[in-house]
Amino acid sequence: MQGGEKIVNFSTIVRAALHRWYITVPGVLLSLLIATTVLSSMPPKYTSSGIAVLVRQNNPTMTNFVNPILGTDGSLSTVTLTLVQALDTPEVKAQLGLREGADDFKISNVGQATTAVTIDHPFIYITTQSSDAQKSAEIVGGVIDVARQKLAELQTDFHVRPQNQIKLESIVDATPPKMIMYTVFAVAGAALMLGIVATFIVAYAWDKIIAVRQRQRTYESAPHAKKNTNCRARKNSDPRVRASQNKIL
């Protein structure tokens, strides 16, 4: 007891839920039904991935004097970062025909996470998601095709000679689509937990209501309660008491 109020903890609620099993059991079953409905109604998501790499055609020590899109030290990190920024746009997603909320892709390069200019990072990593298994793999190829187009336009703008141009090659083709279940399970699990928590709270509240009613019945049926009731009844039936009450009124 603290401040005249009983401390409610988890074990108290669990005991009340077990005591009022006729509320808990239907509530848990209803929660399972809702979670199953959520699980079956959510469309599955599929993922695929691929890796592309930038390659120099002839001169492995090509400098930015020969190809201005290279870094100052001739590295490919600047190019990969430029391509990532050019591809990760709503315009490219619209060009690929991605459906909002159903299709998406993420693209990154290792070079954007480091400031070491002496390390070359020619790789581009692509990860896709789609509600259609085949399309998740097709998006990988589509992103690589658009990346090649962007790279060609960039080098054309800088008037890079064909023999000095950089090419983009796929070194890991689109992987077989895999179903993503963690999102679906997370939503269904959240619905189940909310339902169980609500059930336990209702069971605890009902247990408290029943306990209060039982205490009231016990008090009313106690001998002192009957005695007080009889005294009040006799007092009210006394003509002198009624007369004094009438005078007051």
pLDDT of residue 118: 47
Q: Are residues 195 and 174 in the same domain?
A: no
Average the pLDDT over 221-248 and give the result. Answer: 54
Tell me the chain's radius of gyration from C-alpha atoms: 37
- Chain centroid to Cα 53, Å, comes to 32
Answer yes or no: is 89 within a domain: yes
Which is more confident, 189 or 244? 189
State the pTM of this model. 0.61
pLDDT > 90? residue 184: no
Q: Are residues 91 and 119 in the same domain?
A: yes
pLDDT digits (tens, 9 = 90+) for 107-154: 988 634 444 444 667 899 999 999 889 999 999 999 999 999 999 999
Q: Are residues 107 and 71 in the same domain?
A: yes
Q: Are residues 50 and 168 in the same domain?
A: yes
Under the banding of pLDDT at 50, 70 and 90, the label for residue 36 is confident
Q: Are residues 96 and 112 in the same domain?
A: yes
Q: Are residues 138 and 82 in the same domain?
A: yes
Answer yes or no: is 5 within a domain: no
* Full domain range(s) for residue 94: 45-180
The count of structural domains within the chain is 2
Q: Are residues 53 and 176 in the same domain?
A: yes
Q: What is the distance between the alpha carbons of residues 142 and 140, in angstroms, rounded to a whole number?
A: 5
Q: Are residues 101 and 151 in the same domain?
A: yes
**Contact assessment for residue 154 and residue 82, using Cβ atoms and an 8 Å cutoff:** yes
Q: Are residues 191 and 95 in the same domain?
A: no
Among residues 123, 149, 180, which one ends one of the domains? Answer: 180
**Contact assessment for residue 62 and residue 155, using Cβ atoms and an 8 Å cutoff:** no
CATH number of the structural domain spanning residue 91: 3.30.70.1130
pLDDT of residue 234: 56
CA angle 108–112–118, rounded 5-degree value: 130
Q: What is the distance between the alpha carbons of residues 153 and 88, in angstroms, rounded to a whole number?
A: 17
**Contact assessment for residue 51 and residue 125, using Cβ atoms and an 8 Å cutoff:** yes
Q: Are residues 122 and 18 in the same domain?
A: no
Q: What is the distance between the alpha carbons of residues 235 and 249, in angstroms, rounded to a whole number?
A: 17
Q: Are residues 49 and 96 in the same domain?
A: yes
